[in-house]
Amino acid sequence: MSLGIPTVRASTAGDSHETAAALHAGAHGATKAELDQRAGDAPTAPGLLDRHGRLGTDLRISLTDKCNLRCTYCMPADGMDWMPPPSLLTAAEVVRLVDIAVAVHGVRDLRLTGGEPLIRPDLEDIIAGVRSSHPDLPIAITTNGIGLTKRAATLAAAGLTRLNVSLDTIDADTFRALARRNRLADVLAGIDAALAADLHPVKVNAVLMRGENDDQAPDLLAFALERGLDLRFIEQMPLDGDHGWTREGMVTAREVRELLSQHWRLVPDDVPRGGAPAELWRVLPLDSDPDSGSGSGSDSDPNADPDAVPSSRTDAAEPLGRVGVIASVTEPFCSACTRTRITADGKVRSCLFSHEEFDLASAMRSGESDDVVARLWQQAMWLKPAAHGMEKPGLDSDDYVQPDRTMSAIGG
């Protein structure tokens, strides 16, 4: 029987690249013996270690590829080929994978994504099933917020710890243009419902696009500060369904920091970043003491020398809140990545930008034991590329080939 068969998905837009050609060469499937040959040297001790010394401790499982929005940077307006329902992981299979990840491989954090996870009517059952076996495991979801008004309380009761809401604008017209749906009021009501259900912290993820919503970054931060939300600006990544991403159209992390610094003073947060993707900044009034809110006066400039020697000054101004900036493209954090991903149809995807996936669902459905599934997962992660699906970072390089799976199909 063939196990751990890789499914390679190379971008049709990049077939001329040598990278794509190499991927196509292995696209016809591999036997378990071939996988053993490629990753037979993977350590057998528990843990999702890769060849570059990174340990996968943060698990992201996509529950569906469907969504009730059509955000331009995520999905095409129409023409999506949805995964057949029988191919999607069942609630029991999701819980089993989490059990293996935590008990065998020491995973410490779970995030359920999509598509839109609230489309799954059994989401509460999944969360409750995980929570019953792992009472201390942080469980989060990434959602567009639509549906939270009805389900935030039941999700919290099931054991949900926290959530991230995707929101790129608070302007109704801009929202309609970006999401291709008129649902801003539902999203805002969902955020309020999450706060009322004590799902703290509620984080907001925002993607800025040049000429579309980049001028609204200050409005988003003001909105987040007023409601006590943690805002994260994320550089747009080349995973859009229309393949329209360009380096020139992307608003960089540096530009975001410079724009926000016209309205507030940003100082580096004193919480260690670790493997987290977001660089965090404390937000203070623009007219506050330049030496307050941080241990270093030079840190009032978000683009200051990170090696500057801290002073002994203490905080003199109370931060208004925090904001994060995730520079996935211009300041990649691949060397510290701790993610391991499972698609909605049960395939291990070691990197968001990978072209290779290894099928765990088929192994489970063919009756394989937890030990076998755990080993296949371990071997798949051992083959994780160094960066951005390649051996060096560079999403805007000639070597990069965009996966043909959109963000909604991969799981954010």
Residue-range domain boundaries for the chain:
6-24+47-252+327-410
Measure CA 82 to chain center. 21
Mean pLDDT of the chain: 82
Residue from 277, 281, 276 nearest 319 by CA: 281
Tens digit of each residue's pLDDT (9 = 90 or more) over 166-202: 999 999 999 999 999 999 999 999 999 999 999 989 9
Residue from 207, 200, 203, 193 nearest 229 by CA: 203
Which range among 124-128, 240-244, 283-287 shows the weakest confidence by mean pLDDT? Answer: 240-244
Percentage of the chain modeled with pLDDT above 70: 76
Instruction: Among 68-77, 91-100, 327-336, 388-397, name the most confident range.
Output: 91-100
Q: How, if at all, do strands 356-359 and 58-62 pair?
A: unpaired
How does DSSP assign 86-103, residue by residue?
Answer: GGSPPHHHHHHHHHHHHH
Sorting pLDDT into bands at 50, 70 and 90, what band is 16? Answer: very low
Burial class, 185, CB count within 10 angstroms (exposed 0-12 / middle 13-18 / buried 19+) = exposed
Is residue 114 within 8 A of residue 159, CB to CB? The reply is: no
Tens digit of each residue's pLDDT (9 = 90 or more) over 17-36: 333 333 333 333 344 566 67
Which range among 326-335, 364-373, 389-398 shows the weakest confidence by mean pLDDT? Answer: 389-398
**How large is the angle between the packed helices 184-196 and 148-158, nearest 10 degrees?**
30
For residue 293, is pLDDT > 70? no
Q: How many CA atoms lie within 13 A of 173 on its CB side?
A: 2
Question: At residue 112, what are phi and psi to the nearest 5 degrees?
Answer: -100, 125
Report how far residue 392's alpha carbon sits from residue 342's, in angstroms, rounded to the nearest whole number: 23
For residues 372-397, average pLDDT? 78
Instruction: Among 28-42, 128-142, 301-315, name the most confident range.
Output: 128-142
Q: What is the pLDDT of residue 410?
A: 72
Q: What is the pLDDT of residue 396?
A: 53
For residue 295, is pLDDT > 50? no
Count of all residues that appear for the chain in the document: 412
What's the fold here for domain 6-24+47-252+327-410? Answer: TIM Barrel (3.20.20)
Report how far residue 382's alpha carbon sits from residue 280's, in angstroms, rounded to the nearest whole number: 30
Q: How, if at all, do strands 230-234 and 202-207 pair?
A: parallel
Buried b (16+ CB within 10 A) or exposed e, 235-267: bbbbbbbeeebeeeebbbbebbbebbbeebbbb
What residues does 139 pair with on adjacent strands?
A: 110
Longest pairwise C-alpha distance within the chain? 68
Q: How far is CA 33 from CA 4, 23, 343, in A?
A: 10, 19, 24
For residues 23-52, average pLDDT? 70
Q: What is the pLDDT of residue 290?
A: 63
What residues does 143 pair with on adjacent strands?
A: 165
Strands (DSSP E) found in 97-201: 109-113, 139-143, 162-166
Residue from 116, 34, 39 nearest 350 by CA: 39
